[in-house]
Amino acid sequence: MANNQTEIASSTDSANIQFSNSSTPTVSMHGKNDLEKALDPSGKDEVQPSEKSIAAGPAPATLVIGPPPDGGGQAWLAVLGAFCGLFVSFGWINCIGVFQAYYERHQLSEFSTSTVTWITSLETFTMFFCGPFFGTMFDSYGPRWILLLGTILHVFGLMMASLSTEYYQFILAQGICSPIGASAIFNASVNSVSTWFAKRRAFALGVTASGSSLGGVIFPIMVTQLIPKVGFPWAMRICAFLILFMLGITNLTLKSRLPHRPKPFDFLGFLRPLAELKFGLTLAGAFLFFWGMFLPFTFVITQAERYGMSSNLAGYLIPILNAASIFGRTLPGYLADKVGRYNMMVITTFFSAILVLALWLPSRGNAPAIVFSALYGFGSGAFVSLAPALIAQISDLRQVGVRNGTFFAVISFAALTGTPIGGALVPDVLHSDYTRLQIFAGVVMIAGSVLFVFARGAVGGYKLNKV
């Protein structure tokens, strides 16, 4: 039979499925030890079945997964589908600054800044907090049904947001329903790509994550240009139709390389990674960095307007930030596979934190705001692509969905509280001083960067080598 067909061997006692580099399943008679080696969390996955395991005779049914192909048509189709998935999920979340500014001037003008920020912070929180649930579904069933559910909820939530006029309606539609769907899409996309790549995983996830940057460029411009022409309701509906089209591509192309079998729900499975030093330090660093990372996304527009930038020009700061983030999510990912993923995370997180304190904090004119947006987009963009690569590097691929779920669920609390804290530090976005908000963002990001240094030490020591 051709190499791209499945070879089936008769066996009523046991059957182990092994994936070759062509990603085609074949049935073999290998022992359990080979499974544990083949899923080496280092990502090398280069162990061949031993003669001893074959000679041992029938063993309990075990799925033996060979090394990821690190390329090929199906692998890059999965990246394409995941790219579109992040375009409409995280890419939509990346334009929260536009809605923060718009709602404060129109539908929710009677509410305080801190109150309005709960809509956008809840949006980010919900998308990440649902990670454990969708991670478990992914490990058991693969991405197909998760994507279908996510498509329905995300589009329906935005359609309902287009009809909203009250605060609670925006909370339900844009803060809960839509991001639950975005969470399903985001987790299915990231987890699926991780199954196809090992040595080039950071680069593949970087290309995937660049979809969210492109979405963060297009959606803010669409919203700001469409609202004056067709009104807020139809602007939201047009965005929802674009999202539906992109998700059609995702549903057709995104697949997982792994075979998936239903597993019983194990709540403790989400807690076990927290006991691991490598995972705990990585998570703590990500939490602190994420606590401050979204504040520039939310307040860069209003801060620039506070110091004299026109509303028309300020509306392009988020697209500038996200356009630079396209390069920030691909180039560091490419380099990370060569110099070490933890090494690159340390460099880019320190770079982003320094930008907040050294450039955004003293900025008082148009030029500094534009330069900061471009550089910060590049620096912070690396975090989104590198974080899943770090978790995959220190995890068993069979548990990548659950462990990514735990990771994103914990840092979701940083997203939930960070923006309201920033809003409380700036009571009036058009008249208050932004110094306290900027110091808070920069300090917690510096603290997160330091913890990434310790996480790197726990994973590979403190010598200047590839980690």
pLDDT (tens digit, 9 = 90+) per residue, 120-176?
889 889 988 998 888 888 888 889 999 999 999 999 999 999 999 999 999 999 999
Evaluate whether 434 touches 303 at the Cβ level (below 8 Å). Answer: yes
Computed over every residue of the chain, the mean pLDDT equals 83
pLDDT of residue 133: 87
Question: Where exactly are the structural domains of the chain?
Answer: 68-265, 269-466
Evaluate whether 5 touches 23 at the Cβ level (below 8 Å). Answer: no
Percentage of the residues of the chain whose pLDDT score is greater than 90: 46
pLDDT of residue 63: 53
SS3 labels along 405-429:
HHHHHHHHHHHHHHHHHHHHHCCCC
pLDDT of residue 60: 45
Q: Provide CATH code, domain 269-466.
A: 1.20.1250.20
Evaluate whether 150 touches 181 at the Cβ level (below 8 Å). Answer: yes
68-265 matches 269-466 in fold:
yes
pLDDT of residue 43: 43
Which CATH superfamily is 68-265 part of?
MFS general substrate transporter like domains (1.20.1250.20)
Is pLDDT at 375 greater than 80 in this prediction?
yes
Please state, in angstroms and rounded to a whole number, the distance separating the CA atoms of residues 426 and 406. 32
Residue 96 pLDDT level (bands cut at 50, 70, 90): confident
The tens digit of pLDDT for each residue in 35-84 reads 343 344 444 444 344 433 444 444 444 556 677 888 889 999 999 999 99
The CB density around residue 433, as the number of other CB atoms within 10 Å, is: 12
Contact partners, residue 456, CB within 8 Å, separation at least 6: 340, 342, 343, 345, 346, 462, 467
pLDDT of residue 170: 94
Phi/psi class of residue 211: alpha, beta or left (left: φ > 0; alpha: ψ in -120 to 50)? alpha
**What does 328-355 look like in DSSP terms, one character per residue?**
HHHHHHHHHHHH-HHHHHHHHHHHHHHH
Average the pLDDT over 172-185 and give the result: 95
HSE-up of 154 (CA within 13 Å, CB side)?
33
Is pLDDT at 252 greater than 90 in this prediction?
yes
Average the pLDDT over 402-423 and give the result: 88
3-state secondary structure of 63: strand
Residue 28 pLDDT level (bands cut at 50, 70, 90): very low
The tens digit of pLDDT for each residue in 329-345 reads 889 988 998 999 999 99
Average the pLDDT over 85-112 and give the result: 86
Evaluate whether 260 touches 63 at the Cβ level (below 8 Å). Answer: no
Residue 11 pLDDT level (bands cut at 50, 70, 90): very low
CA-to-CA separations, 45 to 136, 142, 348, 390, 448, in angstroms, rounded? 23, 21, 28, 16, 31
pLDDT of residue 65: 66
- For residue 61, the one-letter residue type is A
The tens digit of pLDDT for each residue in 190-206 reads 889 988 988 888 899 88
